[in-house]
Structure 1
Amino acid sequence: MFKGSCLCRAVTFTVTGDLKAPNACHCQACRKATGHYLVSTDVATDQLRITGKNHLRWYHSSDKVRRGFCASCGSTLFWDPLFHDWTAIAMGAFDTPTKTQMDLHIHVSKKGDYYDITDGLPQNQQ
């Protein structure tokens, strides 16, 4: 089991099962929502339990995606593609070791001009 929370701990979550290798999304929406790029792992909906839902807010960044954050401290927590059975969880929100390693960069054609990607991982332009 993996545990996580927002900065103020008003929203907490647990994940059962293994975590997939996280990826880094460099699209403009993820950069604006997080202040940099978003590194997240995809978790099946039935493996995710969230407490403190009264502090969780959802921003619909498109008609296909919503982004979950804490209303109290503003922490980015979730990226939820509507009409799917999984949710992406921000890696920085985990409180316990994740036993994962990032394996991919996506939307690198949209990355910020203030950094380079030099870790040698595969890079998808989209």
Structure 2
Amino acid sequence: MSEKINGQCLCGAVKVTATTTNSIVRACHCDMCRQHTSSMFMSLATDPGSETIEGPAKSFQSSDWAERGFCEVCGSTLWYGTLHDGAKHLAAGLFENAADAPLKLEFFVDKCPQGYALAGDHKRLTTDETIALFAPV
């Protein structure tokens, strides 16, 4: 069953709603995510196309295949988006307590600085495994 969730950026200027059926948190330690967020980017799995974003949201194309969204007022990270399908992977921090979703997946774990390695029993993918998962065959 789908659940509607609501969130916002730090200053409240951007409001986000989405639905989630299988709510999980994913963490990405790639170089760009770490540079953009100053740590890892944590996203919440939402139902594709269910996202509504209202307010002064901006994005910039960070690679040939992706964009990153942020609040124009406070700079909060809003999403990581893939250009080929228009998917937006919303930042888990927009939602109170990350919408109560458990951490289930890490990408680029071999890029994770030792100072903030995540504990727990969840799937961890290396750079090669992450690229193999998303790269076209």
TM-score by length of 1: 0.87
The higher relative CO (CA closer than 8 Å, separation ≥ 6) is in: 1
Query: 1 or 2, which has the higher helix percentage?
Result: 2
How far 1:34 moved relative to its partner? 0.8
TM-score by length of 2: 0.81
Cα deviation, 1:63-109, whole Å, max 9, x if unaligned, reads: 11000000110100100011125310110111476131010111011
Q: Is 1:22–2:6 an aligned residue pair?
A: no
- For residue 16 of structure 1, what is the amino acid of its counterpart? T
- For residue 20 of structure 1, what is the amino acid of its counterpart? S
Q: Which residue of 2 aligns with 1:32?
A: 35
Cα RMSD (Å) of the superposition? 1.8
Q: Is 1:62–2:63 an aligned residue pair?
A: yes
d(CA) in 2 for partners of 1:59, 1:124:
26
d(CA) in 2 for partners of 1:118, 1:99:
17
Local SS of the residue matching 2:99: coil
- Structure 2: stretches of 5+ with no match in the other structure: 128-137
Count how many residue pairs are aligned between Structure 1 and Structure 2: 124
Go from structure 1 to structure 2 and tell me whether the alpha carbon gap of 1:123 and 1:46 turns closer, same or farther (over 3 Å shift). closer
How high is the sequence identity, in percent, across the aligned residues?
A: 31
> Does the CA contact (< 8 Å) of 1:13 and 1:50 recur in 2?
yes
- For residue 117 of structure 1, what is the amino acid of its counterpart? L
- For residue 23 of structure 1, what is the amino acid of its counterpart? R
d(CA) in 2 for partners of 1:51, 1:2:
14
Alignment equivalent of 2:12, drawn from 4, 9, 12: 9
Cα deviation, 1:31-83, whole Å, max 9, x if unaligned, reads: 1111111110233443111111xx11102110110000001101001000111
Moved over 6 A (4+): none
- Structure 1: stretches of 5+ with no match in the other structure: none
